[in-house]
Structure 1
Amino acid sequence: MQLITFYKYQGTGNDFVMIDGRTQEIKLNSEQIHNICNRRFGIGADGVIILKNHPKLDFEMDYYNADGSQSMCGNGGRCAVQFAKHMGILKNEFHFLAIDGEHIATIEDSGWVHLKMKDVYSIKSINNDYELNTGSPHYIKLVANLDNINVVEEGRAIRNSEAYEQEGINVNFVQTINDTSIFVRTYERGVEDETFSCGTGVTAASLVSAHNDRGFNRIEVETLGGKLAVEFDRINEEAFNNIWLCGPATFVFKGEKTLA
């Protein structure tokens, strides 16, 4: 039995259980992670994040989906930065390691966290849809009216199709609001359900929705959980750098839990 102190954070409704693993070793198996994330019998979350020491950077972020699998999580990364600040890591610019590599982040006075994402150099066209990796793999489907889409049913069908069944993929349904605004809903692998927001998903959707021929872009993003923004430089049709995911990251509550 192990007693852990945890902190609950959310970024536009994408919620996470945060654990400080810098002073004690935290090892969780898939069953424990699933139980922590269970919304009826556990704490309830889309994922678990363990903050760890890093020899050169400010910290390392271990992110686990609700099923125990690991991936990069954009909203989780923003929440991890706020959590690091809360735990006494005070920096003007944070440098940390995630599963997809090193990231940089800053916190505005408003509480919004700006997280630099990995560069993207490939967008695959699949009929009228798109596939790309923004730290996690994403499928982008452009739709005329999101209110008419059964996100869970259609997202699950694509995620479990022959092409993606083994590795899985996140499925994003994207509606254009205007030249600089989109509405995104996401079916997330690992959670195996729709989440209120997905950071790597809205990043992928924004790149596909780039409105300038070249140069700086900023896309305002509506999700079920609130507003985000994605800024980036478009180099050409498939290449993007200086990609920043911007949005709120909020502390919810603190507690203790005994793990079997």
Structure 2
Amino acid sequence: MNKISFYKYQGTGNDFIMIDNRNQTFPKNNTKLIAKLCDRKFGIGADGLILLELSNLQDFTMIYYNADGNEGSMCGNGGRCIVAFAKQLKIIDTHTTFDAVDGLHEAKIDKDIVSLKMKNVTEVQKFNTHLFLNTGSPHHIAFVDNIDSFDVYTNGKNIRYGSPYFEEGTNVNFVEQKDDNTFKVRTYERGVENETLSCGTGVTAVAIAAHKANKTDKTNAFLKTLGGTLEVYFDYDNNIYKNVFLKGKATKVFKGEIQTEA
């Protein structure tokens, strides 16, 4: 039996198992173990698992796994949570630059508010029924009415596995505009294969898509998710969205130890 020490963090209800793996002791190729740790009945329970590792040039490296145990694409709320985790470990103070699967990310932290710089977005595809873009993870965005009663699970799953995404899949965001630059967002996340309380790369994609679709002319947006409100702000220059920041709370829930057979 092995004992794993972990921390649990959440950002607007998107929850993550955080593990300090600077000593490289975690069995990161064991997808079954990661999936079990994320299982809400038989494990700790989380939307994903994040390893904090050393970096050659930056403050640290973020390795993100989906709840199904497979390594995932960039996770915005996870990125904000790992910044708070790094501060708790005294690796950083108020500013950081770290490595992630989609490249370098800068961030700043003030108490429990983390502002995370996301990748530039150079292409937003517009269709009759939706928009599609990549903010470190792929996102399908559809504007709907009556979002509170909308069947996110069924519709999200159909789009996630359907044409043109198929097995590789996409995250699916349903959006209802509330005022000039406030939007209510519900997201079906691939890898979790369910609706989550919040998705950081998702709300980032929604803010950019809303601007591209002329729903707002503001370069910041407030995104209301089931887990709380996030803000996204950016510069728009020459059809490029840059200096894109995702801002919101990231907080520690608890720390613990779990026995594993692996």
TM-score range, shorter chain: over 0.9
Correspondence for 2:210: 209
| Letter aligned with residue 247 of structure 1 | G
Deviations 1:113-140 (A, max 9, x none): 0000000000111223001000000000
Q: Kindly report which structure 2 residues correspond to 1:1-260, keeping only aligned pairs within 5 A, or say none.
A: 1-28=1-28, 29-69=30-70, 70-109=72-111, 111-210=112-211, 211-212=216-217, 217-236=219-238, 238-260=239-261
C-alpha distance in structure 2 between counterparts of 1:92 and 1:82, whole Å: 10
Q: How many residues align?
A: 255
Secondary structure of residue in 2 paired with 1:147? helix
Percent identity of paired positions between Structure 1 and Structure 2: 51
**Residues 45-73 of structure 1: CA deviation (Å, up to 9, x unaligned):** 00000000001100000000001222110
Q: Distance in 2 between matches of 1:62 and 1:23?
A: 14
Per-residue Cα deviation, 1:87-131 (whole angstroms, up to 9, x for no partner): 11133311101100000000123x110000000000111223001
Q: Which amino acid aligns with 1:192?
A: E
For 1:13, the aligned partner's letter is: G
Q: State the SS of the aligned residue for 1:54.
A: coil
* Runs of 5+ unmatched residues, structure 2: none
TM-score when normalising by structure 2: 0.94
How far residue 14 of structure 1 moved from its aligned partner, in angstroms, is: 0.2
Give the whole-Å Cα distance in 1 for the aligned partners of 2:92 and 2:104. 18
Q: What secondary structure is seen at the aligned counterpart in 2 of 1:209?
A: helix
Cα shift at 1:181: 0.5
Q: Distance in 2 between matches of 1:95 and 1:27?
A: 26
Q: Give per-residue Cα distances to partners, 1:13-70, cap 9 Å, x unaligned.
A: 0000000001243223111111001101100000000000001100000000001222
CA-atom RMSD in angstroms: 1.2
